[in-house]
Amino acid sequence: MMKQYRVLPGSEVNLQTCETSYGGELSKTDGKARLEKLTKSLRDLQELMYAEHQHKVLVVLQGIDTSGKDGTIRSVFGKVNPQGTRVVNFKVPTTRELDHDYLWRVHAHTPGKGGIVIFNRSHYEDVLVVRVHDLVSKSVWEKRYAHINAFEKLLADEGTIILKFYLHISKREQAARFLARLDRPHKRWKFSPGDLEERQYWDAYQQAFEDMLSLTSTDLAPWYVVPSDRKWYRNLVVASVITERLKSLGMQFPEEVPEIDSYRAQLSEMLKEGFE
């Protein structure tokens, strides 16, 4: 079902034709029930992947402000063992990071075997915000699509599974979410006047997102355009894609410890000693 949201390599994305809200027959109640099952399955698959220690997964979340990156992480990954899962949030580069190429700070945070890493924003900021705000010239940022494709191919060739999600919301929904933050005392800290200033660049961001999706969705690192006006459906799509991909790996727990019966006998004797 979720394949409909995958951006096929070489296709040209027009976000105006991509739905932001789910209008199908699945109810919110049924959708949440399905999500509950998926998150439990994801918990078990993550434990299996951690034990097998063969695969590694990179999840990339991108979207305009209020699109729900934090909420997606909480809802989809809330049950997984944090020992094998990390969330990385890329903020404004530090002076030291700016002394290197723009991918330098990213590579250090990619997952190792057995691990899942979620990028809350990512290396794609270097073809989004830097483009929209003219932080670098077009001659610089337009080369970065090829850089990023090569970077992700390197990761994939070395065994990293890459799944990228663009959380697609409407301009109206963004305004509603900003207002909801102001109406809730415990959410007001998330609002900044700069959020409204950034909203003035809506059209420029949409164009930047379209180019990002069109130029960097590959077989090895696909993008999914996720309808995100309805939070429950957004979470369901992301959880479904990740769970389905992990199931396809055919993972197995490691072989039993050699001479396991001998160790079992030793431990049984130790337990008996405690009662003598």
User: Which residues in the chain show pLDDT less than 70?
Assistant: 1, 257, 274-276
- What residues does 85 pair with on adjacent strands? 116
- Does residue 259 come out as left (phi exceeding 0), alpha (psi in the -120 to 50 range) or beta? left
Phi, psi for residue 117 in degrees, rounded to 5? -120, 130
Strand order in the sheet with 85-89: 85-89, 116-120, 56-62, 160-168, 223-227
Q: Where are the alpha helices (DSSP H) in the chain?
A: 28-52, 69-77, 95-98, 104-107, 129-132, 138-141, 144-157, 171-183, 193-199, 202-216, 231-247, 260-273
- Provide the token pair at 240: 């479904």
The superfamily CATH assigns to domain 2-273 is P-loop containing nucleotide triphosphate hydrolases (3.40.50.300)
Q: What angle do CA 218, 46, 8 make, to 5 degrees?
A: 15
Contacts of 243 (CB under 8 A, 6+ apart): 38, 41, 42, 45
Burial class (CB in 10 A: 0-12, 13-18, 19+), 127: buried
Return the pLDDT at 274: 62
Return the pLDDT at 276: 52
Return the pLDDT at 264: 79
In the 8-state DSSP scheme, what is residue 107? H
Instruction: Please name which of 221, 14, 212 lies closest in space to residue 132, comparing C-alpha atoms.
Output: 212
Each domain of the chain, given as residue ranges in start order, spans 2-273
